[in-house]
Amino acid sequence: MKVGTDQPALFETSIRSLPLLHRGKVRDIYGVDEDKLLIVQTDRLSAFDVILPTPVPGKGRLLTALSSFWFEKLEHIVPNHLTYIAPESVVTEDERGQVTGRAFVVKRLRPLPIEAIVRGYVVGSGWKDYKKTGMICGIPLPAGLEEAGRIPGGALFTPSTKAAQGAHDENIPFAEAQKLLGEPLAAQVRDIALALYTQAADYAITKGIIIADTKFEFGQDQIGRLYLIDEALTPDSSRFWPAERYAPGRNPPSYDKQFVRDWLETQNWNKKAPAPALPPEVLAKTAEKYREALHRLVS
Ligand SMILES: Nc1ncnc2c1ncn2[C@@H]1O[C@H](COP(=O)(O)OP(=O)(O)O)[C@@H](O)[C@H]1O
Ligand SMILES: [Mg+2]
């Protein structure tokens, strides 16, 4: 698959022919009609939870291609929200350049009120939780696990609430997800999320990428059918590690954001917006990482 990264970067869309519903950290979301949305993957990049002022050329297109790849590959496990309507067909002619290769027209569904997080490795908030309690989100684990070690016995489903904007999502025990969704739906979401993660991670490792953990979102249509929505298994929704640099006992470098984080750490910056502008060499190296992730996975 060839995805050009030579066009100018898109920091923010300005599509005036459709109502803007939401600007996320990375995606801009427009209403198409009553039952469809336009999701545009911009080139915005966030680090330490702050949107950086400098976009990464090509990032949105690479992530669009990667999500497409996973949606299709995992479709046999659960249907997804893609409609395959060309995004160019729902905007005006002069707006087409903003959507080509970086947008999806999706079914407008009712998002479930949880984030379906799956963890294959003990890292991040999971590692903090484990050190303190011997458990991750209330699930007991054997003693003596190392930071970034693989979770013995297979991946864990560790849902979180969807926090209002600005607030941080909160991990919840499975019993809480059962209360929010009802028991049959909670079990269905858990089983599907685990199957999606396991199949994707087993595939990615054959291409030299460890998917340490990931976040899925699900939505329902009017008659209660379940769909995978949002994005699928991108470096923005997941922790990707290069397998060749993996060693349990320390947190491996992030596949895509290592250069950005390393450089930001050298700056006199308090990790609050606004962040400093990124120098061209950091941008170029970061863009190269997204290109590499896509090409490794898709080839
Ligand atoms: N098919 C869909 N129907 C309805 N809402 C969706 C669909 N796909 C994704 N969403 C919603 O779109 C929003 C994406 O916004 P957000 O997460 O803030 O963006 P970002 O990931 O760029 O920060 C989420 O709230 C998600 O639930
Ligand atoms: Mg999001």
On whether both 124 and 247 belong to a single domain, the answer is yes
Of ligand 1's atoms, which has the minimum distance to the CA of residue 108? 3
Beta-sheet strand order (sheet of 103-107): 20-23, 27-33, 36-41, 103-107
Helices (H), the chain: 59-73, 125-133, 174-181, 183-205, 258-265, 280-298
Predicted confidence at residue 164, as pLDDT, reads: 72
On whether both 96 and 126 belong to a single domain, the answer is no
Of 30, 29, 27, 63, nearest to 44 by C-alpha is: 27
pTM greater than the 0.75 cutoff: yes
For ligand 1, residues with CB inside 6 Å are: 22, 24-27, 29, 37, 81, 106-109, 111, 217, 219, 229-230
**Cα–Cα distance measured from residue 139 to residue 116, given in angstroms and rounded to the nearest whole number:** 15
Span 34-62, average pLDDT: 96
| Three-state secondary-structure class, residue 4 | coil
On whether both 143 and 253 belong to a single domain, the answer is yes
**What's the chain's average pLDDT?**
95
- Closest ligand by atom to 63 CA: 1
pLDDT in tens, 162-194: 877 667 778 999 999 999 999 999 999 999 999
For helices 174-181 and 183-205, the axis angle rounded to 10 degrees is 120
- Structural domain boundaries, residue 61: 20-107
Predicted confidence at residue 108, as pLDDT, reads: 98
**Residue nearest to ligand 1 atom 11, measured at CA:** 230
Question: What's the structural domain count of the chain?
Answer: 2
Of ligand 1's atoms, which has the minimum distance to the CA of residue 165? 18
Q: Could you tell me the CATH number of the domain that includes residue 253?
A: 3.30.470.20
On whether both 54 and 139 belong to a single domain, the answer is no
Final residue in a domain of this structure, among 107, 131, 146: 107
**Residue nearest to ligand 1 atom 20, measured at CA:** 24
Final residue in a domain of this structure, among 53, 72, 107: 107
**Residue nearest to ligand 1 atom 14, measured at CA:** 24
Q: How far does residue 7's CA lie from ligand 1's centre (Å)?
A: 26
**Which residues are CB-neighbours of 69 under 8 A, at least 6 positions away?**
1, 294, 297, 298
If you ran DSSP here, which 8-state letter would residue 35 be given?
T
